[in-house]
Amino acid sequence: MKRLLSIRYSEWGFNLAMLVLRLAAGGFMLPYGYDKLVSFAQNSGKFMNFMGIGSTASYTLLVFAEFFCSIFIILGLFTRLALIPLIIAMSVAFFKGENADLFGKGEHAATFLASYLVLMLCGPGKVSVDGMINK
């Protein structure tokens, strides 16, 4: 019982936690990106024109973030760089797309945003391609 209440953590536990968080955050986002990639031709013209860059360009950036950056997150390759587009995409989805409705429609975007922010602050851990490169 005393161990459950301890605030100490091991390096092994931290690295395992970052692996689980990376796999979950990237793996759960991947189907969203894949659906957008497969239906690119039908949906790119109907997407919102964010900051005046055009609906097709906005949709392309979203597909890049949700699909390709998710793969990088799962692998732990260029993790912090890959998190930047995902953090931007989830911020836009939460604040602009869902009007910051935390306990309603925006719950998924807020959850993804929180997990991406934790990964950005803590890093990918040693059980990642980044961790193996920096040995």
Domain count, the chain: 1
Domain assignment present for residue 10? The answer is no
Stated pTM of the model: 0.85
Domain assignment present for residue 97? The answer is yes
pLDDT score of 100: 74
Domain assignment present for residue 51? The answer is yes
pLDDT score of 135: 58
Q: Could you tell me the residue range of the domain that residue 31 belongs to?
A: 21-133
In the block, tokens 């604040």 appear at: 95
pLDDT score of 73: 95
Ranges of the chain whose pLDDT falls below 50: none
Short-list 53, 52, 86, CA closest to 67: 86
Domain assignment present for residue 49? The answer is yes
Domain assignment present for residue 2? The answer is no
